[in-house]
């Protein structure tokens, strides 16, 4: 038979014969409560099968469910706050990158003047930087022969499109093969006088017996990075 402590609802299994015929005193090993337990009748067994869990068990289960609900709510709130922080963090980072990229583009001339090595990075990104403010215009070259010797002639002009007076540095001419390897180069001075706003100066240079491997020509200001 099953007996239940009326104080703490702890249940015990005990032999029914030990409670016949008039029952006996029982002490709960859980809460030390003492009570008189009588023999079970068939009606008691039926009632026992239909009864629900003891009140104490119901209260403990309700408390457990309430605590679990509170923990779940706190965990959900923490996860939501963490997601919001991550979203704000990524948005801030994206905005900072946009500002940096925007500034790196519009201030590229100043950046290259401060860090000349960055000119190569801009060039590889398809944004060559003209820190001198001067431009090459009307470039033309041709190959001809004089007394059986091949002659390469390069002509053009240097223009100052700015509103400032600029000094024209020496020009550098480079010859490259099909693999873009430089096979020869030379320099020349255009003139000693600086160029005023919107002014230009022409140049012409000749090279006798250029290398046979030369396929391309590059003109830039001496001292600039490729």
Output the DSSP codes for 122-134.
HHHTT----SS--
With 0.85 as the threshold, say if the pTM is over it. no
Write the burial class of residue 123 (CB in 10 Å: 0-12 exposed, 13-18 middle, 19+ buried).
Answer: middle
Residue 3 pLDDT: 80
The per-residue pLDDT for 193 is: 79
Please give the pLDDT value at position 65: 73
Architecture field, domain 133-221: Sandwich (2.60)
Q: Tell me, what's the pLDDT at 19?
A: 74
End-to-end CA distance of the chain: give it in Å, rounded: 99
Q: What's residue 101's pLDDT?
A: 47
User: Nearest Cα to 158, choosing from 140, 139, 137, 129?
Assistant: 137
Q: What is the pLDDT of residue 102?
A: 43
Output helix, strand, coil percentages for the chain, rounded to the nearest 5.
35, 30, 35
Can you list the residues of the chain whose pLDDT is less than 50?
Answer: 46-51, 99, 101-103, 105-106
Residue 175: the pLDDT is 96
The tens digit of pLDDT for each residue in 63-92 reads 777 777 777 777 777 777 777 666 665 566
CA–CA distance, 73 with 165 (Å, rounded to integer): 71
Look at residue 176 in the predicted model and tell me its pLDDT.
Answer: 96
User: Can you give the pLDDT at residue 131?
Assistant: 64
Residue 91 pLDDT: 64
Domain residue extents for the chain: 2-51, 133-221
């Amino acid at each position: 038979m099953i007996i239940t402590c009326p104080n703490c609802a702890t249940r015990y299994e005990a032999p029914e014969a030990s409670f016949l015929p008039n029952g006996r005193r029982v002490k709960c090993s859980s809460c030390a409560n003492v009570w008189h337990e009588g023999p079970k009748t068939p009606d008691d067994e039926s009632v026992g099968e239909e009864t629900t869990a003891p009140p104490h068990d119901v209260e403990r289960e309700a408390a457990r469910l309430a605590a679990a609900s509170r923990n779940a709510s706190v965990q959900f709130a923490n996860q939501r706050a963490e997601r919001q922080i991550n979203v704000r963090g990524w948005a801030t980072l994206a905005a900072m990158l946009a500002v940096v990229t925007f500034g790196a583009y519009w201030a590229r001339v100043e950046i290259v003047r401060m860090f000349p090595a960055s000119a190569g990075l801009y060039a590889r990104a398809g944004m060559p930087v003209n820190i001198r403010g001067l431009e090459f215009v009307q470039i033309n070259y041709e190959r001809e022969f004089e007394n059986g010797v091949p002659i390469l002639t390069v002509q053009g002009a240097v223009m100052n499109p700015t509103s400032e007076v600029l000094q024209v540095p020496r020009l550098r001419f480079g010859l490259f093969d099909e693999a873009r390897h430089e096979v020869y180069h030379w320099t020349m001075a255009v003139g000693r006088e600086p160029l005023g706003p919107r002014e230009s100066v022409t140049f012409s240079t000749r090279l006798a017996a250029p290398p046979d491997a030369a396929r391309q020509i590059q003109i830039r200001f001496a001292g600039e990075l490729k």
